[in-house]
Amino acid sequence: MAWGWFLYSFSPAIPLIAAEQRISGAQAGLHGTAMAVGTVASAFLSARLVGRLGRRGALLVAGGVLVTGIVVLLLGQVTALTLTGALVTALGGTLAVSAAQPALAVHHGEASASAVSEANGMGALFGLVAPLALGTSVAAGWGWRPAVAIAVVLMVVACVLVTRLPARGALGHPEPPPPPAADAAPRAAADAAPQAATERVPATRRYSRAYWLFWCALIAAVAIENATTFWVADLVAERTGAGPGIATGALAGLVGGMAVMRFAVGALLRRWSAETLLVAAFALSSLGWLTTWTATSTPVALAGLLLAGLGYGAQYPLAIALVLRASSGRPDQAQAGSSLGVGLAIGAAPFALGALADAVGTRAAFVLVPALMAVGATTVLLGRRAARRG
């Protein structure tokens, strides 16, 4: 909840920070790069932290780091401080996700994709209010800080609730991965039943080809979401003439669509595979993007963002569920590896779109988004083929 609120209140505030600090779009996009550094750092810390403290202990430490980062961000009046605050906040937020998502996957077993999606849906539901709160705060003349500060309250409440849960089972220390299939049965039996080798990982490789392809789809999904949330307010303002408060509040359409879809994914998974739904999500996102990109009125742009949000809402939870499923019994390590890629995406996408916007304008720069959607859909299809071949 707290991480979702922060993402969807802080990201659309980036153009406001640029105006406040009188910096360029590319320089403002460095806040995404700072968040990426924090996310990448979490990739090297999360598995060790969980191994030492268990998932519950890691969640509590992550909460403290996140609150510290937001306080630094809110007190910052210059770019150096706001960049530092964004970095520390992202470190704490990603550490929290890196402990929570494997815990959900372990606790729910075969229903992990639905559980992860619904958990992200709760985050999006809280995030839905965040851009509205930001727009209201800006329109009232209070600036962006009061809206972002609410994330501190949410994180403190979450930590109090976590302390009441037992530090065992899914919230305890991770179980050791199962032994390789080749060690568990005689070679003759493996030769006699080659069909049972689906998704096995050769001893010479840590993860399967399917894992890395789904990993690429995850990175594309994260890049799309962050590039959009950082800069879509500028696109809406440029194309429709909306004021800063309305333009930032319009992001609620995107987050609203995401929240609806994340609660619907569980039911959809009972009929279609995660791979099929993820490809469809990229296609739906493309249609929403096109609607917003061509809009010249705020209501049409909002409708496009709502449609795009329906696609965005399925992308991350389905992609991370596929990555964890293809991890060969190492969800915490796979989550850490995913955090590394996610950090790169968060750092590169907003900065690249901001730099492009400085050079060619916001509307032309947004062509980057459908290109990433095509990459995401392609890697999902290739990952499904690789998983079937084993």
Q: In the chain, what's the furthest Cα-to-Cα distance?
A: 74
Q: Is 68 exposed, middle or buried (0-12, 13-18, 19+ CB in 10 A)?
A: middle
| Mean pLDDT for the chain overall | 82
Whether residue 39 has pLDDT greater than 70: yes
In 243-312, where do the E strands start and end? none
Q: Tell me how far CA of residue 145 lies from CA of 12, 14, 81, 167, in angstroms.
A: 12, 12, 14, 35
Q: What H or E segment, with its residue span, contains residue 200?
A: none
User: From CA 160, how far away is CA 107, in angstroms rounded?
Assistant: 21
Distance CA 312, CA 221 (A): 7
Distance of CA 76 to the CA centre of its chain: 25
**113 band by pLDDT with thresholds 50, 70 and 90:** low
Q: Distance (Å, rounded) from C-alpha 198 to C-alpha 121?
A: 31
Percent of the chain that is helix, strand, coil (3-state, to 5): 85, 0, 15
- Give the model's pLDDT for residue 344: 82
pLDDT digits (tens, 9 = 90+) for 308-354: 999 998 998 899 889 888 877 676 777 777 777 887 887 788 888 88
Residues 249 and 30 sit within 8 Å (Cβ to Cβ): no
Q: Are 174 and 52 in contact (CB under 8 A)?
A: no
Give the pLDDT confidence of 79-104 residue by residue, as tens digits.
Answer: 999 999 999 999 999 888 878 777 77
Contact 280, 377 (CB under 8 A): no
- CA geometry: angle at 247 spanning 69 and 243, to 5°? 115
- Report the alpha-carbon distance of residue 329 to residue 268 in Å, rounded: 25
Q: Which DSSP letter does residue 366 get? A: T
Q: What is the pLDDT of residues 222-232, one digit of tens each?
A: 999 988 988 88
Q: What letter represents residue 232's amino acid?
A: V
Q: What is the pLDDT of residue 104?
A: 73
Question: Can you give the pLDDT at residue 306?
Answer: 93
The tokens describing 250, both together, are 């319009």
Domains of the chain: 2-172+207-389 (1.20.1250.20)
Provide the 3-class DSSP secondary structure of residue 244. Answer: helix
Query: Averaged over 129-153, what is the pLDDT?
Result: 89
Kindly state the percentage of the chain with pLDDT values over 90.
31
**pLDDT score for 266:** 77
119-147: average pLDDT? 82
3-class DSSP state for residue 143?
coil
State the Rg of the chain over Cα: 21
Arithmetic mean of pLDDT, 272-282: 94
345 Cβ partners below 8 Å, 6+ apart?
Answer: 36, 219, 220, 222, 223, 226
- Outline where DSSP puts E strands in the chain: none
pLDDT-based confidence at 198, cuts 50/70/90?
very low
